[in-house]
């Protein structure tokens, strides 16, 4: 973000001032760098909290207004500081200088402000749409990467809310989906921190995926589950107060070849297809039957290098309909399990 901001600042100077002097490039580079730092700070620490449970256009307006005000102040601060240094003037001297007033009213400043507004609106809209579509999906649509089917080796996780049928009966449909939205919001940061892609939501099921390298590194495809349960554990009091119940997820993890392709002309989607998806769904069913919170296939287990904080134990085999082979299933447990009421 800092590099992008610096580059955009320099690009603006090229088109507005050309190469007539050095100091505009210094001003543009410094303003762009500071703007990048502000954007990075807001994106990492502020907007993820503000954006939750707000309408799309509310968030877009808040983000764009915030960026416009702060970035405009950065431009003014950089120009004032530059004039103080170049002209050997004090702050008051710069502020009362007629030439500075001319710059603010009729010079490059109005153009810089318009540039900032357009840039802030464009970047915010693009970032928000990219988040809504899913990580990397907007780029994949624009580049047409999956316009033709592509076979990939991926790790797939299906995660579901335990006892969701009973929760629906207790809460009713409308209140249950409010609960479900809170549940998905609360586990999202844990999932994304483990370099996963959230593929889709189907009722109370969330489908998560990694490429093989990222998912296996440091056991991320396993840590994502336990990190999510830890976050839910921290919020169990809030759930009990709001809904009178405490959510707990169970999950199935498998790996193998999937076909990834863009499907549909209207309401297009980049879908994952193949036996790997079907097998993961079957493993998830086994979680209920075996009363296991996390099951992984032997196909994945043979690649895993689990951290010592996790235990692995065999839970028998899964017979796949239409297949002659069976898949051994393993339960993964935390050495210090999360306390679930």
User: Phi and psi at residue 256, in whole multiples of 5°?
Assistant: 160, -170
Q: How many CB atoms lie within 10 A of CB 250?
A: 20
Give the number of other Cβ atoms within 10 Å of residue 81's Cβ.
14
109: closest CA among 138, 87, 80, 137?
80
Domains and CATH numbers, the chain: 2-130 (no CATH), 143-334 (3.30.70.1230)
DSSP assignment of 88-144 equals: T--HHHHHH-HHHHHHHHHSSHHHHHHHHHHHHHHHHHHHHHHHHH-TTHHHHHHHT
Q: What tokens appear for 240 in the block?
A: 């009990």
Q: Which has the closest alpha carbon to 113: 76, 61, 81, 60?
A: 76
Q: How far apart are alpha carbons 248 and 236 in whole angstroms?
A: 10
154-190 per-position pLDDT tens digit:
999 999 999 888 899 899 988 998 999 899 989 988 9
Query: Can you give the pTM of this predicted structure?
Result: 0.71
φ and ψ of 53, to 5 deg: 65, 25
Which positions of the chain have pLDDT values less than 70? Answer: 16-20, 48-53, 107, 128, 131-138, 140-141, 266-268, 321-324, 336-341
Q: Residue 206 has what pLDDT?
A: 94
Cα–Cα distance for residue pair 51/63, rounded to 1 Å: 9
> If DSSP codes are grouped into helix, strand and coil, which group holds residue 220?
helix
The answer to whether 232 touches 222, Cβ cutoff 8 Å, is no
Between CA 32 and CA 266 the distance in angstroms is: 39
Q: 296 forms bridges with which residues in the sheet?
A: 253, 330
Contact call for residues 281 and 235 (beta carbons, < 8 A): no
Tell me what pLDDT residue 340 has.
43
Q: What is the pLDDT of residues 190-248, one digit of tens each?
A: 998 999 989 888 888 999 999 999 999 989 999 999 999 999 999 999 999 999 999 99
Q: What is the token pair recorded at 131?
A: 């988040």
pLDDT of residue 48: 67
By CB neighbour count within 10 A (0-12 exposed, 13-18 middle, 19+ buried), where does 324 fall? exposed
**Cα end-to-end distance, the chain, whole Å:** 43
């Amino acid at each position: 973000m800092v590099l992008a901001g610096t580059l955009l600042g320099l690009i603006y100077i090229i088109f507005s001032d050309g190469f007539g002097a050095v100091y505009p490039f210094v001003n543009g580079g410094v303003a762009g760098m500071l703007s990048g730092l502000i954007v990075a700070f807001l994106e990492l620490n502020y907007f993820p909290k503000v954006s939750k449970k707000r309408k799309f256009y509310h968030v877009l307006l808040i983000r764009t207004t915030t960026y416009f005000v702060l970035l405009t102040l950065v431009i003014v601060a950089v120009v004032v500081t530059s004039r103080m240094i170049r002209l050997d003037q004090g702050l008051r001297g710069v502020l009362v200088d007629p030439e500075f007033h001319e710059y603010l009213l009729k010079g490059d400043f109005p153009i810089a402000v318009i540039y900032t507004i357009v840039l802030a609106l464009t970047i915010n809209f693009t970032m928000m749409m990219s988040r809504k579509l899913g990580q990397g999906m907007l780029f994949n649509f624009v580049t047409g990467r999956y316009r033709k089917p592509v076979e990939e080796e991926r790790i797939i996780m299906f995660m579901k809310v335990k006892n969701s049928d009973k929760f629906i009966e207790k809460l009713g449909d409308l209140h249950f989906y409010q609960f479900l939205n809170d549940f998905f919001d609360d586990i999202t940061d844990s999932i994304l921190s483990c370099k996963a892609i959230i593929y889709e939501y189907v009722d109370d099921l969330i489908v998560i995926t990694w490429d093989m390298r990222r998912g296996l590194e440091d056991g991320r495809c396993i840590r994502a589950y336990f990190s999510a349960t830890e976050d839910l554990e921290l919020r169990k009091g809030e759930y009990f107060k709001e809904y009178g119940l405490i959510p707990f997820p169970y999950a199935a993890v498998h790996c193998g070849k999937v076909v990834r392709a863009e499907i549909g002309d209207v309401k297009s989607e980049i879908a994952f297809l193949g036996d790997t998806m079907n097998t993961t769904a079957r493993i998830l069913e086994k979680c209920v039957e075996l009363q296991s919170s996390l099951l992984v296939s032997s196909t994945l287990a043979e690649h895993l290098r689990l951290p010592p904080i996790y235990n692995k134990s065999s839970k028998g085999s899964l017979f796949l309909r239409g297949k002659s082979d069976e898949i051994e299933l393993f339960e993964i447990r935390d050495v210090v399990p999360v306390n679930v009421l």
